């Protein structure tokens, strides 16, 4: 499905944002893809694919088919975090380790023989569900992925650092990766020279990010993080009527115990106060505000995230927001005028980069 047609203009750079849902029939927008214009690069985005492999495999097989029919010199794939539910990669002796490996290997196997760009980033669940010991869990996952694939620099940022890390995908198209969970994490995390990190705190991270945005301002920039900066999902404070009437369904999907009025306390809390993983939370809100303001100085920057278990596209001010977090599960999505495209179903997204301004 085509997310949107929008001219990115000044740099003669085109992006076609396509959401490939597994169950979707042939979509009329796919017929509008340019056929006589050179496609320079295809970037596939799949997030939150680390839940039950029964749910993720249809998405992953569809993605694998795409990659097998793509030129490795002109294509890449990003796994947008939450690669292992619910608490990242446990220690080898843990009773949960075998299941963790099954969930992660399902993703790794589809890119093991792919010679194009492969990047895994971490999400809040990879940081031991944003808990104590999260840093060790992230480092374990980085080592496991690199050993399994036999490749270095595929888990970014490295060593539990915040980044920013730069990946030149192709001439004219650059990707900047940051670890947004590092910003939100309340426990031990890597920082500074002692941990081989570029920065020590959020202020230094923003200085580096602004420097990179300025450095690559004449290219098209894709900024990648696990957490969205804008969302019409539950982390953005949007809930359905059933969430107010049956609040226990957030714990158990079949727990339809009616609690009118009282049941609204939880959705209102998430919308106006917020959990650490919600946009309303002061720390998350500050992160989103600072990153957004830095990108607003430039035209047509694309920010890519997962976290929400659905597919979204927003164009707010100068920023194109793509959320692609339904690799293995789905969650509620609110439709309003700010949502240019949305799908509450499992799938992944694709960015097509052409050598002119057509989308």
pLDDT of residue 355: 87
Largest Cα–Cα separation, the chain:
59
pLDDT of residue 165: 98
Contacts of residue 203, defined as CB under 8 A and 6 or more positions apart, other chains included, come to none
Q: How far apart are CA 207 and CA 230, in angstroms?
A: 22
Q: How far apart are CA 322 and CA 341, in angstroms?
A: 9
At 45-98, the pLDDT tens digits run 999 999 999 999 999 999 999 999 989 999 999 999 999 999 999 999 999 999
Q: So what's the architecture of 2-237+274-354 in CATH?
A: 4-Layer Sandwich (3.60)
At 299-345, the pLDDT tens digits run 889 999 999 999 999 998 889 999 999 999 999 888 888 888 999 99
Q: How far apart are CA 182 and CA 189, in angstroms?
A: 7
pTM for this predicted structure: 0.84
Extents of the domains making up the chain: 2-237+274-354
Whole-angstrom CA distances from 171 to 11, 33, 41, 74, 218 are: 12, 22, 10, 11, 11
Does residue 204 or residue 33 have the better pLDDT?
Answer: 204
Q: How far apart are CA 91 and CA 141, in angstroms?
A: 10
Which region holds residue 323: left if phi is over 0, alpha if psi is between -120 and 50, else beta?
Answer: beta
Q: Is residue 288 a contact partner of residue 306, using CB atoms and an 8 Å limit?
A: no
Tell me: pLDDT of 234 over 50.
yes
At 262-303, the pLDDT tens digits run 555 555 556 556 677 888 899 999 999 999 999 999 988 999
User: How many distinct helices (H) and strands (E) make up the chain?
Assistant: 8, 13
């Amino acid at each position: 499905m085509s997310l949107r047609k929008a001219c990115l203009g000044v740099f003669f750079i085109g992006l076609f944002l396509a959401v490939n849902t597994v169950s979707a029939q042939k979509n009329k927008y796919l017929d509008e893809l340019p056929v006589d214009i050179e496609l320079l690069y295809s970037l596939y985005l799949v997030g939150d694919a680390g839940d039950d492999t029964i749910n993720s495999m249809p998405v992953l097989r569809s993605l694998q088919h795409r990659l097998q029919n793509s030129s490795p010199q002109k294509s890449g794939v990003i796994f947008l975090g939450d690669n292992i539910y619910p608490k990242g990669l446990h220690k080898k002796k843990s009773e949960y380790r075998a299941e963790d490996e099954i969930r992660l290997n399902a993703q790794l196997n589809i890119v093991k023989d792919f010679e194009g760009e492969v990047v895994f980033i971490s999400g809040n669940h990879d940081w031991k569900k944003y808990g104590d010991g999260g840093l060790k869990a992230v480092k374990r996952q980085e080592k496991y992925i690199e050993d399994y694939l036999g490749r270095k620099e595929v888990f970014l940022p490295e060593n539990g650092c915040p980044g920013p890390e730069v990946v030149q995908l192709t001439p004219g198209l650059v990707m900047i990766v940051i670890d947004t969970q590092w910003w939100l994490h309340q426990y031990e995390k890597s920082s500074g020279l002692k941990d081989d990190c570029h920065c020590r705190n959020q202020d230094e991270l923003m200085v580096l990010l602004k420097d990179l945005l300025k450095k690559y301002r004449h290219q098209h920039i894709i900024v990648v993080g696990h957490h969205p900066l804008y969302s019409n999902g539950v982390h953005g404070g949007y809930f359905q009527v059933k969430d107010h009437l049956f609040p226990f369904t957030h714990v158990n999907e079949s727990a339809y115990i009616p609690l009118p009025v009282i049941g609204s306390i939880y959705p209102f809390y998430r919308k106006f106060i917020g959990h650490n993983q919600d946009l309303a939370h002061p720390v998350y809100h500050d992160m989103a505000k600072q990153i957004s303001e830095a990108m607003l100085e430039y035209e047509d920057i694309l920010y890519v995230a997962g976290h929400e278990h659905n597919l979204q596209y927003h164009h707010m001010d100068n920023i194109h927001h793509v959320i692609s977090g339904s690799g293995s599960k789905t969650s509620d999505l609110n439709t309003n005028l700010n949502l240019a495209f949305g799908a509450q179903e499992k799938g992944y997204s694709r960015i097509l980069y052409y050598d002119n301004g057509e989308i």
